[in-house]
Chain A
Amino acid sequence: MADSAVFECVCDVLERSSSLDRLESRGTVRLALKQAGLDARSVTASQMTVVLEKVLPEELTSRGVGDIDSLVTRIVSALACVEAGAQQDSPESVFARLGG
């Protein structure tokens, strides 16, 4: 299963707008997602927005990336253009149904 459009979008903007290269950008976002218990293949735009605001700044700081606030704002606005693909049935949604 390929990485989600949301993940690709964040990595592209991060690579273009910071000193990080492609590999570093993708690795940084993957680490932030892992810390949040999320997966690059299924993360949604709303989940990614929370990760961008609460987890990614610390990861970027530890890599010496500057002007993090405006960078995060730029990525969040880019996310607004990402079309929500067909959402697959995640384990979370299955278990949510089973109790309802």
Chain B
Amino acid sequence: MLVLLGISSLLSLAAALVLGIRLLILASRTRGVPELAMGASFIVGGFFGFLFLLVGNPAAGLAMAAPVSELLFRLGMSLIGVGVCFTYVFVWQTFRPDSSLVRTLSLTAMVCILASFWAVWSHPIEAALVDPVHLFGEAVRMGGLLWGCIEALRYYAAMRRRLALRLADPVVTNRFLLWGIAMGAGVVTSLTGLFMTVSGRVDPDAWPYLILGIFATISPIAQWFAFFPPRGYCEWIESSAAEAN
């Protein structure tokens, strides 16, 4: 299972780096806030945050002085939190840019996530991971992913109805589904990680590792197919939609 987790980790890092750079280049052209937020989320949280977390994890087996690995671990946790803040911005700006309630809730969630870093930086790592402040921050982070998943799948349902009337592009319609799946897989991965931390079930042969490995693999693949779809995949989606109509 460690091999599966290793493969999924490499996939996640590669997808986050490539997609992040691609979306930031797009944002520099379009000046669009959603692509800027999503690109920043991939680079800050998905690439640097996850990379520091992996390298700083004692299980990685890198011969590193404890203070250095702890610093990397703390940095990783914080950058992943900042990445989720960018995800909040993306979901808010994409799906509900005019709602003052959503703006207030999103900003509050971001403040909660940033404030929860206090636990990670002020306690020893083992204590910080089960500190109520950190756990609350984790819950808010998961809330952002869950919200993105629900908004994307809800919009996907509407896009399917448009597609039946030829009012939507099949590839764009499918992109909502894939992004919803990626966000949903992110929620399951975070929940499993949290369960392992709180319950202490960190044995690589235990079932949580299998769940973690599977969903951590699904997420980057879905993101890749959503934002960087291979030509053959697009053709398959288009021909399926044409047959259905």
Residues of A near any B CB (own CB < 8 A): 1, 35-39, 47, 50-51, 54-55, 88-89, 91-92, 94-100
Contacts and interface: CB of A to CB of B under 8 A. Distances in A.
B158 interface: yes
12 contacts: A47-B167, A51-B165, A88-B97, A89-B34, A94-B94, A95-B175, A96-B169, A97-B35, A98-B26, A98-B34, A98-B35, A98-B226
Interface string B214-231: 000000000000111100
Contacts of A92: 155, 159, 168, 172
A35 B167 CA distance: 12
Given A91-B94, A99-B171, A99-B175, A36 B35 contact: no
Interface in B12-62: 23, 26, 30, 32, 34-35, 38
Given A39-B158, A91-B151, 12 more contacts: A36-B167, A37-B168, A47-B162, A55-B165, A88-B98, A89-B32, A95-B175, A97-B30, A97-B34, A98-B227, A99-B175, A99-B228
Interface residues of B, number: 34
B161 A1 contact: no
Interface in B124-178: 151, 155, 157-163, 165-169, 171-172, 175-176
Contact of A99 (B30, B165, B229): B229
A87 B158 CA distance: 19
B22 to A, nearest CB: 9
Contacts of A35: 161
A50 B245 CA distance: 15
Contacts of A100: 26
A37 B158 contact: yes
Among A51, A54, A88, A92, which residue has the most Cβ atoms of chain B within 10 A? A92
B236 interface: no
B95 interface: yes
Contacts of B226: 98-99
Shortest 10 CB-CB contacts between residues of A and residues of B: A37-B161, A37-B158, A37-B162, A94-B34, A96-B172, A94-B94, A1-B98, A95-B175, A91-B94, A91-B155
Contacts of B151: 91
B175 A98 contact: yes
B161 A36 contact: yes
B171 to A, nearest CB: 7
Contacts of B169: 96
Nearest to A96: B172
B172 A95 contact: yes
Contact of A36 (B23, B94, B95, B162): B162
Given A91-B95, A98-B227, A99-B229, A37 B175 contact: no
